[in-house]
Structure 1
């Protein structure tokens, strides 16, 4: 009897253990399933997070490249503007230098003595020859040369152009050259016709040089005034 009772108790204990194991097995499987599902969800979330970061980076890269391209384009435009300004400054400097071209000697430096010589020559010629044409020629041409040269001096002091007066003196020198050359070719006398012909030719060359060079140089006061702002 005792052995039967022991067997029954052992069987009952075994049954209890089997039931307990059956009860515990579902909970373990559930836990494993839950862990696996959590792991899968975590990997999915990580993938989604990485994909969103990649998309954001892709969308940000074009905007950055556009901004960088625009930022790079601005220096090029500035360089072009600076280059254009430099070219404009050079052109302005060349124009100013071309406008400031002038002769080294003023027209009145020789024009006043030339007019005085012609005027005095007419008076001396009239005294010795008593020829009215000689006096009229000296008074007319010499007086006109003196008026033009002195007026050119006044305009030069005021900083104005004296080109019309230089042209007038050149025209008078050419007229004197033609007149004295004709008289010299007829008389073959060096004094006074030959001498005046040579002087008139030299003065004509001088006036031509002043005109070609650009006129009289500006006064020193105007040069200093122009140099002060620069």
Structure 2
């Protein structure tokens, strides 16, 4: 609206000037003066519309940023060859992780399986119990220790968690088969309950994103951000 008013005022001023000059100039001079004045009017109108569009765009960006609440950092856009900065949002993403480490329960679980195999062999002289307890319990302990070591180095211990999850699932299946044959609550029923709980625990750690990072890495990441 303001650009239209300014154009109208310029045109009326030009007509009045031309009317005064027409009395003392030839037709050719009058034509040249008209062309020059019209060029000046067009240039003034273009500059006015450009300035108005820039100011309108700036007002739109300010209102948009005020609504969304994005006062941080900025990206640069170009309008008519000039830079216009637009605030954008700083996104700080935190890595998802479980609330507890796998080896906190993995080490005791492996120890219980290993000691259960040894106790079963001592009381029943069952070699299968010793082999099962030694293999599964030793594997659980080894994977838990490796997971702890890798976690201290700040690396992902997901493969070791998956290995413990697989062993827990195998122990659960084996104890279910044994219970269906013997119907003994101890120690078979106890191992079924324990393996089920550990299977749920390992699944939770995997779904939650793995072990939480060490405190040193957390403090360094906070200082960098």
Q: TM-score, normalised by structure 2?
A: 0.69
Equivalent of residue 132 in structure 2, options 107, 129, 137: 137
Equivalent residue, structure 1, for 2:176: 181
- Normalised by the size of structure 1, how large is the TM-score? 0.68
Distance (whole Å) between structure 1 residues aligned to residue 106 and residue 136 of structure 2: 12
Cα distance in structure 2, aligned partners of 1:57 and 1:199: 94
Q: What are the ranges of 5 or more consecutive residues in structure 2 without an aligned counterpart?
A: 1-19, 62-76
1:82: which partner in 2? 86
* Aligned-partner Cα distance in 2 for 1:198–1:126: 21
- When structure 1 is superposed on structure 2, of 64-73 and 100-109 the one drifting more is 64-73
Q: Which residue of 2 aligns with 1:19?
A: none
Which protein has the bigger helix share? 1
Q: For 1:43 and 1:169, locate their aligned partners in 2 and report how far apart those are by CA, in whole Å.
A: 100
Q: Which residue of 2 is the match for residue 118 of structure 1?
A: 113
Q: Deviations over 1:64-96 (max 9, x none)?
A: 33334445458574698736x54xx54xx4xx3
- Which protein is bigger by CA-based radius of gyration? 1
Residue 224 of structure 1 and its aligned partner are, at CA, apart by 1.1
2 CA distance for matches of 1:222 and 1:42? 82
Superposition RMSD on alpha carbons, in Å? 3.2
Tell me how far apart the structure 1 counterparts of residues 34 and 224 of structure 2 sit (CA, whole Å).
61
Name the one with the larger strand percent.
Answer: 2
Pairs aligned (count): 181
Question: In the alignment, what sits opposite 1:20?
Answer: none
Q: Distance in 2 between matches of 1:193 and 1:183?
A: 7
1:60 is displaced (CA, Å) by 2.6
CA distance in 1: counterparts of 2:85 and 2:138, whole angstroms: 58
Greater RCO, CA 8 A, separation 6+? 1
Distance 1:42 1:132, change over 3 A: closer
